[in-house]
Amino acid sequence: AGNPMLNTAFGIAVPEIQVVVKGTSAMLLKSMQAYAGTSLQLEGRKLHKYAVRVCTDQLVLAGFKFRRTSFSMEEPKTCLRVPPRLGICSENMAIDFSVNSETPLHSATLLAECSELDPRVAPLCL
């Protein structure tokens, strides 16, 4: 299995931890309107992009370090670095942050199913 605590270039470039915020479109829209202080007319992918931006801003204010965004992808996400001073980990660690993304769940399910068929799969994938 991979180790997200290893401070390797690959571990920082391709995060092993994916944080996904889940919520209904109505709940996201209401939260984003409250944050913006105005009525927003967003739906679907635009709503998810806006929610990722807002949450990323809040995480950066809390001490996370911004690395990059992937908004051109089908599921928008942000890569953040978690510095040790936050007390979450003892070394730098990278995470991907997204809203209502299904890819991490599908990837984990696929890996689990393949690993049941052949235990050699997991070390090759991670």
Angle CA(20)–CA(25)–CA(31) in degrees, nearest 5?
80
- Which residue has 């990323």 as its token pair? 56
- Only one residue has tokens 């605590």, namely 5
Paired tokens of 28: 């996201």
Average pLDDT over residues 67-80: 88
pLDDT at 51: 92
Reported as a single tens digit per residue, the pLDDT across 11-50 is 556 787 889 999 998 999 989 989 888 888 888 888 889 9
Question: Quick check: 2 pLDDT over 60?
Answer: no
65 or 8: whose pLDDT is higher?
65
The pLDDT of residue 9 is above 80:
no
Q: What is the pTM of this model?
A: 0.76
User: pLDDT-based confidence at 6, cuts 50/70/90?
Assistant: low
